[in-house]
Chain A
Amino acid sequence: MKSVAVFVVLCLGFVNANLKCEHKIPDIPQAWIDMDNSCTNVVRDHVLEELKAALQYLAMGAHFSRDQINRPGFANLFFKAASEEREHAIKLIHYLLMRGQLTSGVTGLINNYKLAPNVTVWTSGSSALKDALNLEASVTSKIRELIKVCEAAPAFNDYHLVDYLTGDFLTEQYEGQRDLAGKLSTLEKMTGQHGELGEFLFDKELL
């Protein structure tokens, strides 16, 4: 009997000497976590959309940096846009964290293999600007879809998220689109008569 007790004590001692790699999971009330699942899911999906856009811009930057293309101004514009899209993804992640989300399923939030851009070659600066403008338009329409889902959940109209998406995200989308459309218009006019020279000069403006 004694030896059993000693054995148990030894075992406890052994367990206690081990590394404590894990801490306890606290019990927090859940009433404050009020986002509807359908809404959370579409916002999670949109994180990936923003990162896809980031990689698409990175591909544009890579293309215009090439020695055989040599449009450093365009490359500069697109590399900057890539980092901005990544910032948008991070802003959405921070929003979800603030609302008590992302306590599980974080690993599946970004699938690297879905991010690689499909289009990596452009025939001209103007064709890339057109693609960029269309990309922004598609992101804008996806944000509008998010808003629809998040205000339509039967039990919970997510006013706060909708306000955030409308005020912050949509404002940036519309301003960005106007900027791209303006640039494209100027470039089209410059290249109309002067082709290569127009694009060369416009590229230097973007530096």
Chain B
Amino acid sequence: MKVVLAVFAAILAVASAAEECYTDVVETCNNPSLKQEGVLTKCDAQYGGIVSAESDLQKLANSLIHRSFDFLLMATHYGNYIKNRPGFEKLFRGLSDDLWEDGIESVKYITSRGGQMNFKNVHESLAADAGSLELYELHSMSKALDIEKSLAKQVFDLHKETANHRVDHYDPEIGHHLEEKFMGKQKETIRKLAGHAKDLGNLLNEERDPSLALYLFDQYLQK
């Protein structure tokens, strides 16, 4: 009996949620004072877990934008005449461009689910990481790998939140978005950078001065 009641209550809840906009329209159109204001407040695009995920989605978008600038600075460092490594410059500039585009797409995504962007809502990991970005080759490759992994972790954490089966958190559509737009791409980038770091580590683990190895590796990165 209890179960039947619960199911009945759930059906009622779903039905009323589904009719919120219509109810709002009917109420507003039938009430002269509301009609005068002319504002419908319940006709929005929000459903599922967007309200509880919104803040983390904002943080992710801000991380992507912030990190795109970090990579831009790393590319800049490799573009100066002393470093003069066009291959490294190209690699980091590519990472910067990707994150910038992802940042914009993330802002669009938040609004597509009825949310709003907040550019001041920054993830804790960013404030803690304020070191120099003018690094030697192997250092910069490891830094790039760590940055990409931290972004992947942010995506995983968010995915976990939206897989939470509490009614106001569960949102497979956000999960799907994260899987489709981020996970495959991040896997490729992380694998590529890890391979570069491993290769560089091996090449520099010789008795000779590393300059020629670095030159050849840079030539390889330009391709």
Chain A positions near chain B (C-beta within 8 angstroms): 16-26, 28, 51, 55, 58-59, 61-62, 65-68, 75, 79, 82-83, 86, 90, 93-94, 97, 100-104, 106-107, 109-110, 112, 115-117, 120
**Other A-B pairs beyond A18-B205, A101-B80, 11, CB < 8 Å:** A19-B201, A19-B205, A20-B209, A58-B103, A65-B108, A67-B114, A68-B114, A97-B79, A107-B133, A110-B73, A112-B126
Q: Are A16 and B81 in contact (CB under 8 A)?
A: no
Binary contact track B93-121/A, C-beta < 8 Å → 1, others 0:
00000001001100110111010111110
Q: Which residues of B contact A93 (CB under 8 A)?
A: 72, 76, 79
Which of A18, A28, A58 lies in contact with B82, CB distance below 8 A?
Answer: A28
Q: Which residues of A contact B45 (CB under 8 A)?
A: 67
Identify the closest chain B residue to A113 (Cβ): B122
Q: Which residues of B contact A67 (CB under 8 A)?
A: 44-46, 111, 114
Q: Are A66 and B111 in contact (CB under 8 A)?
A: yes
Question: Known contacts A62-B111, A106-B73; is A25 also within 8 Å of B82 by CB?
Answer: yes
Q: Which residues of A contact B132 (CB under 8 A)?
A: 107
Which of B117, B137, B214 lies in contact with A62, CB distance below 8 A?
Answer: B117
Chain B positions near chain A (C-beta within 8 angstroms): 44-46, 65-66, 69, 72-73, 76-77, 79-82, 100, 103-104, 107-108, 110-112, 114, 116-120, 126, 132-134, 136-139, 201, 204-211, 214
Which of A68, A75, A101, A112 lies in contact with B69, CB distance below 8 A?
Answer: A112
Q: Are A100 and B81 in contact (CB under 8 A)?
A: yes
Q: Are B76 and A117 in contact (CB under 8 A)?
A: no
